Amino acid sequence: MSEKTRLGNFFEDFWVGQKIAHATPRTITEGDVALYTALTGSRFATNSADTFAHSLGFPRAPVDDLLAFNMVFGRTVPDISLNAIANLGYAAGRFGHPIYPGDTLTADSTVIGLKENSDGKTGIVYVRSCGVNQRGQIALDYCRWVMVRKRNPQSPAPAASVPDLPSAVAAADLIVPTGIRIEQYDCALAGSSELWDDYRVGERIDHVDGMTVEESEHMMATRLYQNTARVHFNQQAEQAGRFGRRIIYGGYIISLARALSFNGLANAFSIAAINGGRHVSPAFAGDTVYAWSEVIAQLIIPGRHDLGALRLRTVATKDHPCADFPYKSPDGRYDASVLLDFDYTVLIPRRA
């Protein structure tokens, strides 16, 4: 048997401090942007129209932040999560320099923690991943943790090392793209009159709309990001697995939830941070995704009186419209319909 092919890293192949340069740089094209729009239906004006982006000081419409996130994530999969059972969560994510069509993304990761599970068959791998453009400017960096199979259950466990990660990115650490101005912001073109001042902490927003995911769509989206995790593609293998079918990539669910949030948060024109997130349960083709959001905090950006930030929790559900805001029971258990619990921070104009 040839030894030239790769089976990916198993839990015992990682060590704390390990640095991994990921293969396959990716130049983002206008075709990628069009396909992302076709697969998510995202309608945020800044990402949809060069003219609108120009009015805010962008040279052209930037790539959707979550398209950039998923592209960077896709670089990391062959090295980090090819043998994963589940991607478990995110923290300390910060978006930096906007990405535009024609930019090339590369990525690297550093292992920041390891912990074997009690079953001895799997372990949790914590990594910090960073995506940069062709000029070396950071597009985003974030932490995630993933449950990875062991190659040999009898192999010795490494010493447990769990990183101490922040609960949220502080307002002072948020990055506002250089040159952004708000004085020409057009609420009518953006699709909503509600600005930073119109939201309140604790407010819950039902985004109303739902989107049913088809088998071909979720696989096409995942291939767009060059995410090679087998659980999303190989039905022959997955029919013998836990669920008997292919699982929808969690990043696609995040993108759908963000796209659905337009109805109620249309002026949240840019994602500045990913504070935390959890894929609560798997999604499958045929599920209809709904979403609702809660305003966790209104943040003042130092030195900016025209621009603020909202820390949001967006919850995505399957086959459950969100008028009753399904989330957790009094004992802390998630409602059976919840797919995603996503904590992130967006930039939004303030009233003059």
Whether residue 311 is predicted with pLDDT greater than 60 in this model: the reply is yes
pLDDT, tens digit (0-9, with 9 covering 90-100), for 249-301: 999 999 999 999 999 999 999 999 999 999 999 999 999 999 999 999 999 99
Can you tell me the mean pLDDT for 6-33?
A: 96
Question: For residues 82 and 70, which has the higher predicted lDDT (pLDDT)?
Answer: 70
pLDDT interval class at 1 (50, 70, 90)? low
pLDDT interval class at 2 (50, 70, 90)? low
Asked which of 47-51, 156-160, 196-200 is least confident by mean pLDDT, the reply is 156-160
pLDDT, tens digit (0-9, with 9 covering 90-100), for 204-220: 999 999 999 999 999 99
Dist CA 228 CA 242 (whole Å): 19
Whether residue 326 is predicted with pLDDT greater than 90 in this model: the reply is yes
Average pLDDT, the chain: 95
What percent of the chain lies above the pLDDT cut of 90? Answer: 88
Whether residue 335 is predicted with pLDDT greater than 90 in this model: the reply is yes
pLDDT interval class at 86 (50, 70, 90)? confident
Q: Which whole-number Å values give the CA distances from 131 to 75, 76, 104, 153, 227, in the listed order? A: 9, 10, 10, 33, 15
- Degrees to nearest 5, angle at CA 49 with 43 and 52: 105
Whether residue 231 is predicted with pLDDT greater than 90 in this model: the reply is no
Q: At what angle do helices 250-260 and 215-224 cross, to 10 degrees?
A: 100
Beta-carbon contacts of residue 153 (< 8 Å; ≥ 6 apart): 120, 121
Q: Which whole-number Å values give the CA distances from 136 to 19, 66, 97, 105, 211, in the listed order? A: 17, 20, 10, 9, 37
pLDDT interval class at 18 (50, 70, 90)? very high
Cross-strand partners of 237: none
Dist CA 286 CA 306 (whole Å): 43
Q: At what angle do helices 215-224 and 30-40 cross, to 10 degrees?
A: 150
- Degrees to nearest 5, angle at CA 78 with 75 and 79: 95
pLDDT interval class at 328 (50, 70, 90)? very high
Whether residue 108 is predicted with pLDDT greater than 60 in this model: the reply is yes
pLDDT, tens digit (0-9, with 9 covering 90-100), for 30-57: 999 999 999 999 999 999 999 999 999 9
> Residues 143, 92: contact at Cβ < 8 Å?
yes
- Degrees to nearest 5, angle at CA 221 with 215 and 224: 140
Can you tell me the mean pLDDT for 152-164?
A: 91
Closest by CA to 47, choosing from 255, 309, 307, is 255
Closest by CA to 32, choosing from 59, 60, 58, 66, is 66
Per-residue pLDDT at 236: 87
